[in-house]
Structure 1
Amino acid sequence: MTLQNTMDQLRDLRLTGMLEGLEHQLSQPTYSGLAFEQRLGHLVDAENSHRDTQRLKRLLKNARLKVNAEPEAIDYRPGRGLDRAVMADLLTCGWVERRQNVLLTGLTGTGKTWLACALGVQAARKGHTVAYKRVGRMLEELDVAHADGSLAKLRNQLAKVELLILDDFGLTQLGNRGRADLLEVLDDRVGSGATIVAGQMPIKDWHSFINDPALADAILDRLIHSSHKLALKGESMRKRKSSAQSSLDTE
């Protein structure tokens, strides 16, 4: 078999990483001195790395995160309320594997959405499926699903994802159906998936916001049990960036 035949077969078998690895070896004279087993090992490593990269791309595409937030860029500036040790633990994603929750609160512009997405990116890097939903939009989708008969399918999708990010909790008033749907989504995820809930409202006000004592008790029981709480503080990050840009523009 000729080298070209081998490369064609790698392409047909969709072993793209091995193909690119072989092309790299052929372009680098240093590989010619390695034993066959070593060169084969490099090709297997290249294929494995390629598959990991492609899987991460698929996970992030399916997650539909609002922002592509790199965990390495988390801002630990004093006054934000972020503890490096706590974040280091969260970034291991052990809480995702244990199906626990993160409750993320803070005023407008403090970086809740960005941080939630950074945790989502890290979870995807660890191989977990992730989905981002604004609470109001999710409830609209569930409302439509009630009408068109796709409710079971949508609820199953929300239940199966390993990390569900629910953003902007508290911005949309909850009607009777909305409260019930939110409870069903959270109940489906108990023991099967981790959830991030992000919103401006302090956790102590969530019960009164839900505005139904029985459903509020049930919803908060499912959220707060085994949860990690992060309360972001300080000035608006957007305002701070805008001020910094204005300063640069005037220099």
Structure 2
Amino acid sequence: MLLEQTMSRMHALRLPGMAQALEEQYRNAAIADLGFDERLAMLVDREHSWRENRRMSRLLQMAKLKSSQACVEDIQYGQGRQLDKSLMAQLGTCQWIRQHQNLVLTGATGCGKTWLACAMGNAACRQGLSVLYVRTPRLFEELRIAHGDGSFGKRLVALAKTDLLILDDWGLAPLTQSDRNDLLEVLDDRVGSRSTLITSQLPSEHWHAYLDDPTLADAILDRVLHAAHKIALSGESLRKSVNGVSPKRDRLG
């Protein structure tokens, strides 16, 4: 009865991890030989782990990663991709995000840009950082709708609070003047305070012409490229079958 009452109070105090650990301790006779301090430490550790796991699950859900299983531990370095292992290991620590730097991934279709971006997003979530993945054309569509229903300001605030914003498929479609203005607003809120990861088939040296407005292009690119790590992926498309067997879809992008 005392155990049930204690567990009930733990749940009331929102300590489910600790409650579960306490129940397991009562079922394990060997734990009875441990001292009070050790048993208490085990309860606290379980609660901490439970909260961290719950937070990570929530961050991953909110990130909406296209390749949810992508992770930096599975990065492929062969097939002429010219990926620097030391650089990728450094980026995998997410220190660049904490220092509010950007990351630009360019390369032909199928070379793994999207998968690699999602792997970085996954790493960020596992380290307690907020992430949002969105295809750039879709973002512009959402912002147009936000202008219409009056939620544009609220949407900008939400984007500005995200530690890592992943803009996939940059440069696929022509931009309107409104798109360019909105893009500058989004990026300006992130300079020096948040990080942006961009993937594009278009090499970064062609972005100025793509933006098609010299003044806004200068402002946008200054905010993106000034403090950015740039990786140009090469090699054959990962979508090509290898010995007649197609590679996993979550390795593509």
- TM-score of Structure 1 vs Structure 2, range by shorter chain: over 0.9
The equivalent of 1:17 in structure 2 is 17
Partner Cα separation in structure 2 for residue 46 and residue 187 of structure 1:
41
**Per residue, is there more helix in 1 or in 2?**
1
The equivalent of 1:249 in structure 2 is none
Partner Cα separation in structure 1 for residue 235 and residue 92 of structure 2:
22
Detail structure 1 runs of 4+ shifted over 3 Å in the superposition.
240-243
Quote the offset at 1:24 in angstroms: 2.2
* Structure 1 position 218 matched with structure 2 position 208: no
DSSP 3-state at the match of 2:182: helix
Structure 1 residues 241, 210: CA separation in 2 closer, same or farther (over 3 Å shift)?
farther
Structure 1 residues 98, 212: CA separation in 2 closer, same or farther (over 3 Å shift)?
same
Structure 1 residues 45, 13: CA separation in 2 closer, same or farther (over 3 Å shift)?
same
The equivalent of 1:189 in structure 2 is 190
* Structure 1 position 62 matched with structure 2 position 54: no
* Structure 1 position 2 matched with structure 2 position 8: no
DSSP 3-state at the match of 1:238: coil
Q: How does 1:165-244 map to 2 (within 5 A)?
A: 165-240=166-241, 243-244=244-245
Partner Cα separation in structure 1 for residue 43 and residue 242 of structure 2:
45
Quote the offset at 1:163 in angstroms: 0.6
Quote the offset at 1:78 in angstroms: 5.0
Q: How does 1:90-129 map to 2 (within 5 A)?
A: 90-129=91-130
CA deviations 1:48-68 (Å, max 9, x no partner) are 000000000111111111111
The answer to whether the 8 Å contact 2:79/2:236 transfers is: no
CA deviations 1:150-206 (Å, max 9, x no partner) are 111011111111110000001121111111111111111111210000011111111
The equivalent of 1:42 in structure 2 is 42
Quote the offset at 1:245 in angstroms: 4.0
The equivalent of 2:134 in structure 1 is 133
What is the identity, as a one-letter code, of the residue corresponding to 2:16? T
DSSP 3-state at the match of 1:131: strand
What is the identity, as a one-letter code, of the residue corresponding to 2:192? G
* Structure 1 position 146 matched with structure 2 position 147: yes
CA deviations 1:117-136 (Å, max 9, x no partner) are 11011111111111111110
Count matched residues.
246
The equivalent of 1:33 in structure 2 is 33
What is the identity, as a one-letter code, of the residue corresponding to 1:8? S
Partner Cα separation in structure 1 for residue 116 and residue 131 of structure 2:
14
What is the identity, as a one-letter code, of the residue corresponding to 2:195? A
What is the identity, as a one-letter code, of the residue corresponding to 2:153? A
The equivalent of 1:159 in structure 2 is 160
Quote the offset at 1:82 in angstroms: 1.0
Q: Percent identity?
A: 51
Specify every segment of 5 or more residues in structure 1 that has no aligned partner in the other structure, as ranges. 247-251
Partner Cα separation in structure 2 for residue 35 and residue 115 of structure 1:
47
**TM-score normalized by structure 2?**
0.93
Quote the offset at 1:89 in angstroms: 0.7
The answer to whether the 8 Å contact 2:240/2:246 transfers is: no
RMSD: 1.5
Specify every segment of 5 or more residues in structure 2 that has no aligned partner in the other structure, as ranges. 248-253
DSSP 3-state at the match of 1:168: strand
Structure 1 residues 11, 107: CA separation in 2 closer, same or farther (over 3 Å shift)?
same
Partner Cα separation in structure 1 for residue 208 and residue 243 of structure 2:
35
Quote the offset at 1:27 in angstroms: 2.7
What is the identity, as a one-letter code, of the residue corresponding to 2:39? R
**TM-score normalized by structure 1?**
0.94
